[in-house]
Structure 1
Amino acid sequence: MTVAGYMAECLLHPEHGYYAAREPFGAKGDFVTAPEISQLFGEIVGAVLVNAWRQAGRPAPFLLAEAGPGRGTLMADIVRTARIDPAFSAAARIVLVEASARLRDVQRKTLGTDARRATWVDRLDDLPDFPLFLAANEFFDALPIRQFVKTANGWRERMVGLCNDSALTFTAGASVLPDGERPPGHADAPDGSVFEIAPAREAAAATIGAHLAAHGGLAVLIDYGHLQTGIGDTFQAMRGHDFADPLAEPGLADLTSHVDFEALARAAASEGARALPAMTQGAFLLGGGIVERAGALGAGKDAAAQDAIRAAVTRLCGDGDGQMGALFKVLGLTGPGLEGPVPPFQAG
């Protein structure tokens, strides 16, 4: 089967799939997302959305939405932060894009009383026709990718097959990457090079772009990945907070790959949205005021609490080993009514 088909089966199979059978999030899971590291992350995202809503003319009603909400921590922090503007909170219709019944139950518990005014939809296409202010953190990386490997006979689709001992292995299939879709520098790439495309990710970005173009708003897309399309094998598995062989334990590890932000921006723009220049997570959070907010959060607390806040800021914004500031990128998409810069994004 294709790598895309393998990813979909391993992650989404209704009985044996990773998201159906395992708890991926938190210290006892396989990875920790930024909202779980510190409330500061969600507070900055929330403040950016509130400011963009004001800049857009305070539309009412509007959708305050999240795609791939995980345990609901990010949305809970956004909703709490949004109370700085009672008009924003009053006009917001909270919508979570989540297909998993199990995760919906977790999200309801996390949201607490705010769950009573929230609704859930299965797909981005199901979002109602209102201005959209959306956050998507580590949503795109889990959508399936296709891989093509360079061979003497062209760029062939990478497949998952069986060895003689019945172990899974990669092999080159018959499908060829069309000339028009080949990456920059493909002619000079050595045999064995891998290029990834992600039609499912681009379709999701296009859906968001079309909604913004029709109804206005801002989407903040956050994920680990690269700013420009390029060659490289980024298909990986995470289990127990460490890297694993993506073919070794189907359904027991999280399968992901790096997100191509240039491709997302291109897909959204093709539907009429404006793509603001993507930036690193560190630049986004620092530009959004995380240092100032951390100072206010730590005021009056003991030394241990202040040290924990500083450590969280460093992990979220830093570019060292195990830090997220440079690895993760942030793309802003806007619709009509949000011309010019949308802080902390620059005009594009």
Structure 2
Amino acid sequence: MSAPRMTETPAPSPADVAAEPDLPARLARAITLGGPIPVSQFMAAANAHYYATRDPLGADGDFTTAPEISQMFGELIGLWAADLWDRAGRPDVRWVELGPGRGTLTADALRAAARAGFAPPVHFVETSPALRARQAQRVPAATWHDDVEDLPTDLPMIVIANEFFDALPIRQLMRGRAGWQERIVACQDLLFLPIPGASVPDGIIPDELRDAPSGAIIETSPASVGIMRVLAARIVAQGGALLAVDYGYEGPAIGETLQAVRGHAFANPFEEPGERDLTAHVDFATLGAVGTASGAIVSGPVPQGAFLTRLGIDTRAAALGPRVAPDRDRLVQAMGTLFKALAMRHRDWPEPAGFQ
């Protein structure tokens, strides 16, 4: 999250968004003048431009997310939060969503949770003017922030991060003939290509992966670690909990997961930077370790399918009728194995539902 910080601002309209210079040309000039850049810098620049200039969701966009597939997802998350809040003694809290897309999850969640008396003030961490405008249509009373460090410090927070960490920049380390090297991005005539870069010390490679074969790739996300550390410290100091739902694994692990999506199809992540969504699988083991080291209590990860089933998606689907059966199957089966849920909470807060 490299945009200038602000504390509390209204959502701007799309007319407020000025056109940025052509990103591929700008990156090409930077690489020509300063040399190849790390994959993390390339990904950060590409995604910052991509999200700032469009609403990428839905049939006319590049991809969809669980809240856009079915109202059931947001409703269950809202009831999950209301149950946790109720068992914590119904304290005053703030609702925080990181990267809230169109605001659909929060709108569905708080509509369902209101039946239990749970109606906290809403805070969105979002840097995209285009998406802020869409969020304001669904949750007009929200307050927007550019950075997690700008979130209020006065009350416990219930933080929701649905498909947020996967879009944060990653480093790629590649095993070469002479050892491990940082993977960097070179450019010639607007053709961007990943190549091996400077050597990195063996000491930063996990012991069990250090002797991987030539060509092996390890991915790390310092940006994810930094944000998780801030949120964990806040939860330990203020109270509350975090729920992260994303696709990923429990690392460390060998393998490249950086991918691009455009028009609901996979694409080359190094072509047309800023015009396609770049993501990478989330290392839930690392996120959990950050929470534990900060003094928070971590639950999971558990597969999303098991998590939603424990929260009662079958009962909710039955109540809504046969028309939602395909959506239920997609959430529990197609997204239910690769996608995982992880929770982090203050030690005085109860264990959240879905993880037992």
Fold match by TM threshold 0.5: yes
Q: Distance in 2 between matches of 1:100 and 1:188?
A: 41
Q: Distance in 2 between matches of 1:203 and 1:30?
A: 28
Q: Distance in 2 between matches of 1:162 and 1:287?
A: 49
Contact preservation (8 Å) 1:148, 1:194: yes
Q: Distance in 2 between matches of 1:334 and 1:254?
A: 31
Q: Distance in 1 between matches of 2:249 and 2:335?
A: 13
1:6 aligns with 2:30: no
Q: Which runs of 5+ in 2 are unaligned?
A: 1-36
Tell me the residue number matched to 1:335: 346
2:98 corresponds to which of 67, 72, 75: 67
1:169 aligns with 2:183: no
Contact preservation (8 Å) 1:30, 1:254: yes
**Aligned-pair CA distance for 1:169:** 1.1
Aligned partner of residue 185 in structure 1, secondary structure: helix
Tell me the residue number matched to 2:79: 47
**Aligned-pair CA distance for 1:187:** 3.5
Q: Distance in 2 between matches of 1:177 and 1:145?
A: 18
Tell me the residue number matched to 1:243: 266
1:26 corresponds to which of 47, 55, 58: 58
1:198 corresponds to which of 194, 201, 221: 221
**Aligned-pair CA distance for 1:227:** 2.4
Aligned partner of residue 135 in structure 1, secondary structure: strand
Superposed, which structure 2 residues align to 1:59-138 within 5 Å? 59-60=91-92, 62-86=93-117, 88-89=118-119, 92-111=120-139, 115-116=140-141, 118-129=142-153, 130-138=155-163
**Aligned-pair CA distance for 1:178:** 4.6
Q: Distance in 1 between matches of 2:262 and 2:338?
A: 19
Contact preservation (8 Å) 1:213, 1:272: yes
Q: Distance in 2 between matches of 1:45 and 1:174?
A: 44
Contact preservation (8 Å) 2:53, 2:130: no
Residue 225 of structure 1 aligns to which amino acid in structure 2? G
**Aligned-pair CA distance for 1:184:** 5.2
1:310 aligns with 2:321: no
**Misfit runs of 4+, over 6 Å:** none
Aligned partner of residue 152 in structure 2, secondary structure: coil
Tell me the residue number matched to 1:303: none
Aligned partner of residue 229 in structure 1, secondary structure: coil
Residue 40 of structure 1 aligns to which amino acid in structure 2? M
How big is the alpha-carbon RMSD for the aligned residues of Structure 1 and Structure 2?
1.4
Residue 46 of structure 1 aligns to which amino acid in structure 2? G
**Aligned-pair CA distance for 1:185:** 2.9
**Aligned-pair CA distance for 1:177:** 4.5
Q: Compute the TM-score of the two structures, normalised by the length of structure 1.
A: 0.89
Tell me the residue number matched to 1:344: 354
State the aligned residue count. Answer: 319
1:254 corresponds to which of 277, 284, 288: 277
1:38 aligns with 2:70: yes
Contact preservation (8 Å) 2:179, 2:202: no
Contact preservation (8 Å) 1:57, 1:337: no
Aligned partner of residue 121 in structure 2, secondary structure: strand
